[in-house]
């Protein structure tokens, strides 16, 4: 029976288009590391040789050597495909390093393929796998089943790796990889039963096409503007490296002045700048002959990943990166100064925790680390990262077990010549980490939403204190309570405050609510409604942290504020003539707007005098007292009066 070649022709057409598509990807990407391309090339050549062997499989003694060669090549290439497929699956699960470092396993995996290849190559002499008979036709040898056994072994291995590392594979990778196995088994059975139906090549082509459009979606892996791997791929990589304990070094390169540059450059300029950084980083890899994965983590943060535990290469890469990037960069005809901050991170030594690494990266983005090459280990040892990485659990436990305590910092009234109020400042005391600073846990509680519960806990504690007999004896007018921006966005905030105050019989005039500058520039409808409703009920508001950020004075003027609190960073400004003018005029402006001033961070007598002279009504700071626990605060005020 003559073989049906047309399926092979269709397979060849599919391969042709896949190779063309790959060629265009490579032009965009420049380089490709992985086993898909070798697999595609071997499968294409197998298909070509398959077609030729059939075309030349005609009776007659012509092309005798050529027939042997064509069939030999075809069979060797065909037995290579399952081996490459196993390799491909291993590389997709990122467990390659385990195999590469173990020569015993490597040899064992390659063994069936090597045996098949040797038996095929020696077949012209042994006739074991195939031979050309006297009439010039191809014939299967008695040991041809070895090739099928090999293929079966490899497919079992594929199945093993897919199942063993299934947790490392997302369904979009897992399903195509697994779905190929039954199709391959079916084609082998069909071809064994009906050798004239040549469906093996088309089945392989369709399988590879499926992989190409699912797993090898290069355009989804690479950032189109820089041509570097995307940040999602980086985060997948760090998750996988942790799961399979794969050591790597990552060099993080942050363009510390990127936000400033992005304020002035058009989008196309920023794209050109990032591309230029990307090309420079790639060039270092070629220069040092190091094979590295380069990721674009966006907004001026890049990462170069080197696998293995040799830190030397990473250190060299890092210093080259710093040296190369610190030179000016020509973008759109402009000579730009880039401020690179380079940090070398080593997994698993620096931290095994993916969460800690993420936190570290967000710090790095905020360019907390100095210019030059730094070691992540220096920062990662910092206890804060451990606390921050576990913050959700810490806060949940603190809420459930009442681990919060409210401290009070007295506020001095110049008019009264004594203390008239205090600020309630939250403290978190945990059994595991001890005392945790509010500026560490408040922002994270805001992110997770825990601030809503925490805010109510503070309010309850403050109201209970205000309603106590001890408080009444202190003669204080009110307590200032901090409200976070996130709390103000809660449409029920006003109701919640009113109900807690009602529960403890606290009068609106006994509470002063502090909102920050950030809150004041937000145009959130809920926030405005909350503020107006509480103001109308008789609560007063302070504007906290004045002078720390971007002050939208017009917005501030539109809010019902009674007090402005000058932030300590503002009050600590040096006493130069120019700054004095700014300070004096700011104070005058606030006074003219009929608002009172609390000066924060007053630590010395000299500062006290200076702000008294400038006419500020209230003083808060370590000069009088640090925030104190309730009991100590009561004693402090009693002693002072």
For binding to Mg ion (CB under 5 A), which residues are involved?
A: 482, 514, 544-545
Q: By CB under 6 A, tell whether 625 contacts ligand C2E.
A: no
User: What mask, x for binding ligand C2E by CB under 6 A, covers residues 464 to 493?
Assistant: ------------------x-x---------
Q: How far is the CB of 438 from ligand C2E (least distance, A)?
A: 4
Residue with tokens 């004041």: 520
598's enclosing H/E stretch is strand 596-599
Q: What is the 3-state secondary structure (H, E, C) of 229-296?
A: EEHHHHHHHHHHHHHCCCCEEEEEEEECCHHHHHHHCCHHHHHHHHHHHHHHHHHHHHHCCCCCEEEE
Q: Which of 400, 402, 439, 613 binds ligand C2E (CB under 6 A)?
A: 439
Q: Which of 336, 442, 501, 634 binds ligand C2E (CB under 6 A)?
A: 442
Total residues at interface with ligand C2E (CB under 6 A)? 21
The window from 357-365, 375-383, 434-442, 554-562 that contacts ligand C2E (CB under 6 A) reads 434-442
| CB closer to ligand C2E out of 285 and 627 | 627
- Of these partners, Mg ion, ligand C2E, none, which one is at the site of residue 426 (CB under 5 to 8 Å by kind)? ligand C2E
| CB closer to ligand C2E out of 427 and 580 | 427
DSSP string, 28-68: HHS---SSHHHHHHHHHHHHHHHHHHHHT--SSSTTHHHHH
Taking alpha carbons only, the member of 142, 139, 152, 69 closest to residue 113 is 152
Taking alpha carbons only, the member of 216, 234, 231, 225 closest to residue 33 is 216
Q: Are 81 and 42 in contact (CB under 8 A)?
A: yes
Q: How far is the CB of 621 from ligand C2E (least distance, A)?
A: 3
Q: What are phi and psi of 508, to 5 degrees?
A: -50, -35
Q: How far is the CB of 427 from ligand C2E (least distance, A)?
A: 8
Q: Which of 72, 176, 508, 621 binds ligand C2E (CB under 6 A)?
A: 621
Q: By CB under 6 A, tell whether 544 contacts ligand C2E.
A: yes
| CB closer to ligand C2E out of 221 and 610 | 610
| CB closer to ligand C2E out of 303 and 571 | 571
β-strands 511-516, 540-546: how paired?
parallel
Alpha carbons 387 and 430: distance in angstroms, whole number = 11
User: What mask, x for binding ligand C2E by CB under 6 A, covers residues 449 to 468?
Assistant: ---------x----------
Q: By CB under 6 A, tell whether 601 contacts ligand C2E.
A: yes
Taking alpha carbons only, the member of 56, 67, 69, 78 closest to residue 146 is 78
| CB closer to ligand C2E out of 343 and 426 | 426
User: What mask, x for binding ligand C2E by CB under 6 A, covers residues 86 to 115?
Assistant: ------------------------------
DSSP string, 395-435: HHHHHHTT-EEEEEEEEEETTTTEEEEEEEEEEEEETTTEE
Q: How far is the CB of 411 from Mg ion (least distance, A)?
A: 11
Contact residues for ligand C2E (CB under 6 A)?
Answer: 409, 425-426, 437-439, 442, 458, 482, 484, 544-545, 568, 600-603, 620-622, 627
């Amino acid at each position: 029976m003559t073989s049906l070649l047309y399926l092979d022709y269709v397979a060849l057409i599919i391969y042709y288009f896949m190779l063309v598509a790959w060629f265009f990807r490579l032009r965009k990407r420049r380089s490709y590391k992985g086993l898909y391309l070798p697999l595609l090339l071997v499968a294409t050549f197998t298909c070509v040789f398959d077609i030729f062997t059939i075309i030349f499989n005609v009776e007659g003694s012509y092309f005798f050597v050529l027939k042997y060669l064509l069939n030999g090549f075809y069979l060797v290439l065909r037995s290579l495909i399952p081996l490459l497929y196993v390799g491909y699956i291993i590389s997709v699960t990122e467990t390659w390093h385990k195999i590469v470092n173990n020569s015993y396993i490597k040899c064992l995996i390659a063994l069936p393929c090597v045996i098949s290849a040797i038996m095929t190559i020696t077949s012209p002499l042994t006739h074991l796998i195939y031979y050309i008979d006297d009439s010039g036709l191809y014939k299967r040898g008695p040991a041809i089943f070895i090739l099928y056994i090999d293929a079966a072994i490899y497919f079992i291995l594929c199945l093993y790796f897919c199942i063993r590392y299934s947790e490392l594979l997302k369904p979009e990778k897992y399903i195509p990889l697994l779905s190929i196995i039954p199709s391959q088994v079916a084609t082998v059975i069909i071809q064994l039963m009906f050798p004239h139906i040549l469906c093996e090549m088309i089945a392989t082509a369709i399988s590879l096409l499926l992989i190409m459009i699912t797993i090898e979606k290069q355009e989804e892996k690479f950032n189109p503007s820089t041509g570097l791997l995307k940040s999602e791929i980086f985060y997948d990589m760090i998750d996988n490296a942790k799961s399979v304990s794969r050591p790597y070094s990552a060099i993080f390169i942050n363009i510390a002045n990127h936000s400033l540059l992005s304020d002035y450059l058009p989008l196309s300029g920023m794209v050109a700048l990032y591309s230029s950084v990307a090309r420079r980083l790639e060039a270092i890899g070629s220069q040092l002959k190091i094979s590295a994965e380069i990721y674009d983590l966006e907004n001026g943060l890049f990462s170069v990943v080197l696998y293995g535990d040799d830190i030397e290469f990473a250190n060299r890469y890092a210093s080259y990166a710093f040296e190369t990037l610190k030179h000016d960069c020509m973008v759109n005809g402009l000579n730009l100064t880039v401020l690179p901050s380079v940090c070398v991170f080593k997994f698993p030594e620096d931290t095994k925790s993916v969460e800690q690494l993420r936190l570290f990266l967000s710090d790095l983005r905020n360019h907390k680390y100095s210019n030059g090459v730094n070691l992540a280990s220096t920062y990662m040892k910092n206890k804060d990262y451990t606390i921050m990485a576990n913050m959700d659990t810490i806060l949940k436990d603190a809420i459930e077990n009442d681990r919060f305590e409210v401290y009070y910092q007295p506020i001095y009234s110049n008019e009264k010549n004594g203390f008239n109020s205090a600020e309630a400042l939250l403290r978190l005391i945990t059994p595991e980490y001890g005392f945790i600073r509010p500026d560490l846990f408040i922002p994270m509680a805001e992110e997770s939403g825990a601030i809503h519960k925490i805010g109510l806990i503070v309010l309850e504690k403050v109201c209970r204190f205000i309603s106590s007999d001890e408080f009444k004896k202190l003669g204080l007018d009110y307590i200032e309570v901090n409200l976070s921006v996130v709390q103000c966005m809660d449409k029920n905030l006003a109701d919640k405050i009113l109900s807690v105050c009602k529960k403890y019989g606290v009068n609106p005039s006994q509470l002063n609510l502090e909102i920050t500058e950030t809150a004041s520039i937000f145009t959130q409808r809920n926030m405005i409604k909350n503020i107006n409703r509480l103001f109308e009920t008789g609560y007063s508001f302070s504007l906290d942290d004045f002078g720390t950020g971007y002050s939208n004075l017009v917005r501030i003027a539109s809010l019902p504020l009674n007090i402005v609190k000058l932030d300590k960073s503002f009050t600590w400004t040096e006493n130069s003539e120019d700054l004095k003018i700014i300070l004096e005029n700011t104070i005058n402006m606030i006074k003219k707007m009929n608002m009172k001033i609390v000066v924060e961070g007053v630590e010395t007598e000299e500062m006290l005098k200076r702000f008294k002279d400038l006419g500020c009504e209230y003083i808060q700071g370590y000069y009088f007292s640090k925030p104190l626990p309730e009991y100590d605060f009561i004693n402090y005020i009693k002693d002072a009066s």
